[in-house]
Amino acid sequence: MAGTQKLTRTTLRSGLGRVRGLGSAKEGVQHWWAQRVTAIALVPLTLWFVASVILLAGADHATVSAWIARPLNTVLLIALVAATFWHAALGLQVVIEDYIHTEGTKLVVLLAVKALLALVGLAGIVAVLRVAL
């Protein structure tokens, strides 16, 4: 094609240099990869959390507080909350982008959902720290 030939003649940049930073959202595979990384992290974290909750079934406040305050549990709980809300934000983003086709509405819903998830996730981390510290 003539247009392409003209472009290669008028630039000194390589083909790779020209496509870097392009793409639908200028982020390459970052979203896809972060979704997988958080998914892999959530495999052991989820199993640990479900097993812990079963063992804590019916436990009183003192027992649960002492469990949360143990350093390993504190760290794993914060990791669980962070990975869960990050994974949820990435997942819900894709769902919203798939079903809402009006640009303005999509942006507003995306921002609102991400803000809500960030706040609820932070609330979870603060709650863990308040019990632990």
Partner 1 sequence: MDAREALMTGTTSDGKLVRRPLSPHLQVYKLPLTAITSISHRITGVALAIGTGLLVSWLMAAAAGPIAFAEAQAFMGSFLGRLMLFGWTLALFYHFCNGIRHLAWDAGYGYDMETATRTGWLTIGGAVGLTLFAWILGYALLG
Which residues here bind partner 1, judged by CB under 8 A? 36, 39-40, 42-43, 46, 50, 54-55, 57-58, 60-62, 64-65, 68, 77, 81, 84-85, 88, 91-92, 95, 117, 120-121, 123-124, 126-128, 130-131
Distinct helix (H) and strand (E) counts, the chain: 6, 0
Q: Quick one: 19 or 116, whose CB is closer to partner 1?
A: 116
- At closest approach, how far in Å is the CB of 58 from partner 1? 5
Residue with the two structure tokens 């083909």: 15
Give least dist CB 71 to partner 1, A.
Answer: 16
CB of 25 to partner 1, least distance (A): 20
What is the distance between the alpha carbons of residues 128 and 133, in angstroms, rounded to a whole number? 9
CA distances from 113 to 83, 90, 107, 110, 116 (A): 16, 11, 10, 5, 5
